Structure 1
Amino acid sequence: MNMNLLLLCLNALLFCCCSSSRTNFVLLFADDLGFGDLGCYGHPSSVTPNLDRLAAGGLRFTDFYCTSPVCSPSRASLLTGRYQTRSGIYPGVLYPSSIGGLPLNETTIAEVLKPLGYATAAIGKWHLGVGADGEFLPTRQGFDQYLGIPYSHDMGPCWNLTCFPPDVKCVGLCDIGTVTVPLMHNEIIKQQPVNFLDLERAYRDFATDFISTSAKKKQPFFLYYPSHHTHYPQYAGPGAAGRTSRGKFGDALLEFDNTIGNILTTLEKMGVLNNTLIFFTSDNGPELMRMSRGGNAGLLKCGKGTTYEGGMREPAIAFWPGTIRPGVTHEIASTLDILPTIASLAGACLPQVVLDGVDMTEMLVHQGKSKRGTMMFYPTDPSEKYGMFALRLGKYKAHFYTRGATHSGTTPDQDCPVFALLKAHDPPLVFDLEADPSENYPLSPEERPDLQALLERIKKVKEQFEAFMVFGESQISKGEDPNLEPCCNPQCSPRPSCCRC
């Protein structure tokens, strides 16, 4: 660390210690939630009163993006402010037996805040690796506490588990031959298999205790809640099951919303709501292959697994009473921007690495312009050979490659399913996302005489960005070891069926 950076960090630490009004942060991250799944984004039958409250009293984004159309890489970018290509969380996602995980030399939001005395906690779906002896768990990545399932809740046999009361079994077979899904507290397995009907209550109680304890100690805090909702198979306990007209998906979404409501109530009760930035978004688009149980992308094209808008444009809301004025922004923003924004608001030092995120403070607090003019779209299996699949520049989006995905099957659009094979476009397909957010009508030279000049600008931006993109070692390509699957009785036999507690 150079002397100037050291002085900046010391000044930030002094500010934090002396400030009587340190900002708290609550980061809410939905799972497989589409752009059209919330009532405040146009869905007619979703029941989400608490998310609607955040949208009505906060800043709602119309052009907010994740960085990958699947789970693990999207989460890596959210927590590090860097494209997943840099951290090596590709191709695809991590599994219970994965050898790799989010590298420990990557700096998370929690690690940015820890030097300033923040209490940090994570609840829910981690999905950035477990590894040998828990080396990649949240407690090794800057979080003081963790309660949750360390990967996706469908990554274990689920046919004999109850998803809805009184005894409605989970739909689907999930991953046969793996250990049952564990609930972990810090680095210890608390329950295996997890009780889905009681899971959200456990999360609510944990969040309430964390916020209350931090507020009583007058300690600033960062709560990260990456929910399992609304990933398939959906589940919901007694407080939400059967309470909506949208079926199982709607019930799962309501249960997530109920937890958000509990967090809001706790913040109000402890007198810290007006000093807390709450940010909500989702990891990727809806899993359309599940049909009505998979979510909805609204007017956007395709969904999970694709680099079309439906796969990577997400609902997003920033809520901070008294600081963020209610409204809607059409500025481009991304999950990449959350780390630099939190660092700026907390007075923290940024990691001394290449960051792809920008500070959103001016946009959030003063309704200013976004510092982000571009967004890069990488597929689930990025490579240096192909580079980015698409690029957004201002209101224009250029597709250099298009491809469907298994996750986006069953839709009438033939561009979405896995049968839509990889196709290169030279010149790229260009869409005006303001006039055509559904990406139905590529611009043509006949209609747009300025198209060639636009293509030259896009080409230049692409070349400049890719010249400085250094791909990190693929963590997922390190392979798998069945002995790494979390088991509460590791010496038992026969595995995996004996892993129960």
Structure 2
Amino acid sequence: GMGGIPAMKVLYPLFVFFLTTSAEELTGSHVIQGPKAINVKHSDGDRSNDIANITQSEGVASSKSTKPNIVLLLADDLGYGDLSWSGHPTSRTPHLDRLAATSRYLTHFYVSSPICSPSRASLLTGRYQIRSGVYPGVFSPNNVLGLPTNETTIATLLKAQGYSTLAVGKWHLGVGANREYLPTQHGFQEYLGIPYSHDMCPCRTCFPNDGPCYDLCWKWDVSCPLFSNSTIVEQPVDLTSLTERYVDHALNFIETKHQQKQPFFVYLPFNHVHHPQFASSVHQGVSSRGRFGDSLLELDWAVGRIMATLKNTGAHRNTLVWFTSDNGPSMTRHERGGCAGPLRCGKGTTWEGGIRVPSIVHWPAKIKPG
């Protein structure tokens, strides 16, 4: 386990190939205004040398062909007790179970915030969210600001070291009046995904507590935009095919970069298992845990496809795969919410259920299972 250390405190050491479990204390001025005016100055210094040094350490050569690849898989609202690996009686997660059994499973892994945007800001920058100003709330579609462009992300650092960088999935760190806060402005060379949670898209016909109407609304009457880089390519987006498209795009990127002997960083923040849950027709009605279980099953399928492709291409031994969740489960959705297992409370609280999440690190060349 990680001994209670928040996720952002181990982000760079973990990403930067699991060589240490502490991070240098970050200093700088900050603004505590929620996700709004966040032009924050900081004095962390140049981290690019840190990345350069570590990518060449532990016998890892600096050539493009031998730098380790990184794949970060981020679930949305997945609880500590949601995987069948952790003992949930009705969950089916065979691929994640297999990944956990062959990887380092971090039993005491804590994220920096129990809600989405602050947690993701910390995850990508390695800084407490209060320092970037992405605090205490989340970005909504009518916000015109986002993660400050003067913040340094792991993608920015890896891109500077010759990595190809891709973000595919739910961003939720702002769009901007001129789309200046999208992933392509934060070190990612390519982006495909929706910019915020799919429950934030306008629904004109019914109130969320009206279950049957809400189901119909989310299937037919949402207007979530799907971005390719900074261009909207579909609106409303077809949620039922979204996960498959995410995975196909990521796998095409992985296969292409591997063939080119180009090191890559893939950040894949899924929409699953955030409410209202959805799944493709292949996974609908298949689980014994209702709509939530179907969504979880599709998430598991996606992880399985990614791991299989890494193995089939031969890239897996030199690829660090990290699977985790942005925060704990929604506890107010009843059968549509997740499970924190033995932990108290969930999303939106700073009890353990809100910030202690599943975390699996896989890197056959460097990390022993356990």
TM-score with structure 1 setting the length: 0.60
The Cα offsets for residues 261-315 of structure 1, whole Å up to 9 and x where unpaired, read as: 1111211121101111110111111111100101011110111111111111101
Q: 2:203·2:222 contact (CA, 8 Å) conserved in 1?
A: no
Q: Structure 2 counterpart of 1:44, which letter?
A: P
Q: Output the CA distance in 2 between the equivalents of 1:278 and 1:30.
A: 13
SS at structure 2 position matched to 1:128: coil
CA deviation map 1:166-207 (0-9, x unaligned): xx9753868xxx981111111111110010111112112101
The one of 197, 212, 215 aligned to 1:171: 215
Name the structure 2 match of 1:114: 159
Counterpart residue number, 1:202: 245
Aligned CA distance change for structure 1 residues 5 and 33 (closer, same or farther; 3 Å): closer
What secondary structure is seen at the aligned counterpart in 2 of 1:211? helix
Counterpart pick for 1:72 among 93, 97, 117: 117
> 2:333 aligns to what SS in structure 1?
helix
Task: Return the match for 1:93 from 138, 143, 149.
Answer: 138
State how many pairs are aligned: 318
Structure number with the higher strand fraction is 1
Answer with 1 or 2: which has the greater Rg.
1
Residue range with higher mean Cα deviation, 34-43 or 178-187: 178-187
Structure 2 equivalent of residue 308 of structure 1:
351
Sort the Cα spacing of 1:96 and 1:6 in 2 relative to 1 into closer, same or farther, 3 A.
Answer: closer
- Give distance in 2, aligned partners of 1:85 and 1:6: 23
Distance 1:133 1:281 in 2: 31
Alignment of 1:99-498 (within 5 A): 99-158=144-203, 171=215, 180-327=223-370
Residue aligned with 1:189, SS: strand
Contact persistence 2:279–2:294 (CA under 8 A): yes
Partner of 1:451: none
Report how far residue 323 of structure 1 moved. 2.3
Paired with 2:46 and 2:139, the residues of 1 have a C-alpha distance of 38
CA distance in 2, matches of 1:299, 1:293: 18
Residue 170 of structure 1 contacts residue 234 of structure 1 at CA under 8 Å; is this kept in 2? no
1:296 corresponds to which letter in structure 2?
C
Give the percent of matched residue pairs that are identical in Structure 1 and Structure 2.
54
How far apart, CA to CA, are the structure 1 residues paired with 2:269 and 2:48?
A: 33
The one-letter amino acid paired with 1:305 is G
Whether the 8 Å contact between 1:232 and 1:293 is mirrored in structure 2 is: yes
TM-score, normalised by the number of residues in structure 2: 0.80
**Equivalent residue of 1:62, what SS?**
coil
Uncovered stretches (5+) of structure 2, i.e. residues with no partner: 1-42, 207-211
Distance 2:83 2:309 in 1: 23
Counterpart residue identity of residue 231, structure 1: H
For 2:256 and 2:368, the matched residues in 1 are separated by 29
Describe the shift of the 1:188–1:12 C-alpha distance in structure 2 as closer, same or farther (beyond 3 A): same
Whether the 8 Å CA contact 2:64–2:263 is kept in 1: the answer is: no
**For the aligned residues, what is the CA RMSD?**
2.7
What amino acid is aligned across from residue 55 of structure 1 in structure 2? A
Distance in 2 (alpha carbons) for counterparts of 1:124 and 1:273 = 22
